[in-house]
Amino acid sequence: MSEKNRQILLASRPKGEVTPADFRLVEAEIPAIGPGEVLVRNHFLSLDPYMRGRMDDAKSYAASQPLDEVMIGGTAGEVVESRNPEFAVGDRVMGMLGWQLYGKDDGRMIRKVDTSRVPLSAYLGAVGMPGVTAWYGLNRIIAPKAGETVVVSAASGAVGSVVGQLARRKGCRVVGVAGGAQKCAIVVDEYGFDACVDYKAGQLYADLRAATPDGIDGYFDNVGGATLDAVLRRMNAFGRIAVCGLISSYDGQPMLLQNFRSVLVNRLRVEGFIVSEHMEVWPEALRELGTLVATGELKYRETIAQGLENAPEAFIGLLKGRNVGKQLVRLIAP
């Protein structure tokens, strides 16, 4: 190939908020593949909040993203060269090839996906890591019963929107928390939540109380901070809280909780989890999610930035909640 590869590297570790200067766009050779390897042209990058944690060098559950290397991340694309009998040119594949146009793999970190009934991009969202994250936290930690009330924060996002729809299918009252009237309208009208609390409206606890007349039995937490604190005040006895993300403090702010006492008073179970540590559920979860998306029973939205060079701004927007649904970057012509 005569074309060049293009890549975005992590140039510096953010001090507090992420800025465009923390990234650098470079050109590189398209990698040559050896025996057993596959070359993939990425069509979509997945942007996800967990990436913020990787940009720090603090102790965390995952290795830091090294400086001056291609930003990590999930990708969906097309095989353009193959020396691996399992993959043919034209196959659509998921992988973790990072923020670049082309990546290669030995076939162990990519998998073929069927795009006949589910669009390729959905494998980065509702039928991918975010969907399985929702599935695991809801089914394995919250494990709600019909009639219970389940609350989810970042409810219009890639994870939260799936949590709510799955909980609704189990017969729960489902209440979202999201930022702004527009997002709340989507959560209720499009995803079918029973109610949505706009945390930007300035009366989070009062609105949450009104939306959860019978208290809260399960909380899927994507944000931490003031929302978690308000939810703790509304929890019922033997409630379960799945801690999936704490996006409100990813920039290193201390997170002050005032209502931890509820954990004792209400005998709560609070559990943090990372979906990549529960690979055993992926096949079952992806099968269920794939069917629901293919039949139109599970709705999702995407916010798509166009072009590799716009990935940093899109990622910063994601951290600020500017996206609706799954934040993607498209690397091919729309």
The residues that touch its own copies, with contacts defined as CB under 8 A, are 53, 59-61, 224, 228, 237, 243-246, 249, 254-258, 260-261, 263-274, 277
Whichever of 146 and 256 has its CB closer to its own copies, that residue is 256
If the CB atoms of residues 67 and 263 are measured against its own copies, the closer one turns out to be 263
Shortest Cβ distance from residue 241 to its own copies (Å)? 9
Which tokens in the block code for residue 236? 């019922």
160-169 helix and 129-136 helix, angle to the nearest 10 degrees:
50
Q: What are the tokens at 268?
A: 């709560």
Q: How far is the CB of 151 from its own copies (least distance, A)?
A: 17
Nearest to its own copies of 201, 274 (CB atom):
274
The two structure tokens encoding residue 244? 């999936």
Nearer CB in complex with its own copies: 72/324: 72
Q: Which is nearer to its own copies, 257 or 294 (CB)?
A: 257
CB of 273 to its own copies, least distance (A): 6
To its own copies, the closest distance from the beta carbon of 154 in angstroms equals: 14
CB of 269 to its own copies, least distance (A): 5
Q: How far is CA 101 from CA 50, 77, 293, in A?
A: 21, 9, 27
Please, what is the minimum distance in Å from the beta carbon of residue 224 to its own copies?
Answer: 7
Contacts of 209 (CB under 8 A, 6+ apart): 234
Mapping DSSP onto H, E and C, the string for 59-110 reads CCCCCCCCCCCECCCCEEEEEEEECCCCCCCCCEEEECCCCECEEEECCCCC
Contacts of 152 (CB under 8 A, 6+ apart): 160, 163, 164, 167, 174, 175, 176, 177, 219, 220, 222
Using the minimum distance from each CB to its own copies, give the nearer residue, 120 or 246: 246
